[in-house]
């Protein structure tokens, strides 16, 4: 059986829980491409997403 990897973008905030006028300010944490995490280098680490990073690394 073959495995299919998903490609998606990880945002730092849930766009469904942000006010409409603040949507454009949501930063991208990174992307997952072919099952591998490619985080964006931020000046300050995003602590609440470290669990996700550990799961995908």
Q: What is the pLDDT of residues 7-48, one digit of tens each?
A: 999 998 899 999 999 888 888 888 999 888 888 886 665 555
Q: Please indicate, yes or no, if residue 19 is contained in any of the structural domains.
A: yes
**CA distance linking residue 46 with residue 1, whole number of Å:** 36
Of 3 and 25, the structure prediction assigns the larger pLDDT to: 25
Residue 45's domain comprises 8-56
Would residue 34 count as lying in a domain?
yes
> Is 32 contained in some domain?
yes
Q: Which residues pair with 39 in a beta bridge?
A: 30
- Asked if residue 17 is part of any domain, the answer here is yes
Structural domain tally of the chain?
A: 1
What confidence score (pLDDT) does residue 12 get?
Answer: 87
The count of C-alpha atoms lying within 13 angstroms of the C-alpha of 19, restricted to the half-sphere facing its C-beta, is 2
At CA 28, angle to CA 16 and CA 43, rounded to 5? Answer: 130
Is the entire prediction scored with pTM above 0.85?
Answer: no
Q: Is residue 3 part of a domain?
A: no
Residue at 44 is within a domain: yes
């Amino acid at each position: 059986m073959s495995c299919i990897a998903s490609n998606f973008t990880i945002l730092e905030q849930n766009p469904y829980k942000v006010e409409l006028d603040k949507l454009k300010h949501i930063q991208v944490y990174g992307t997952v491409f072919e099952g591998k995490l490619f985080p964006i280098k931020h000046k300050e680490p995003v602590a609440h997403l470290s669990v996700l990073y550990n799961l995908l690394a």
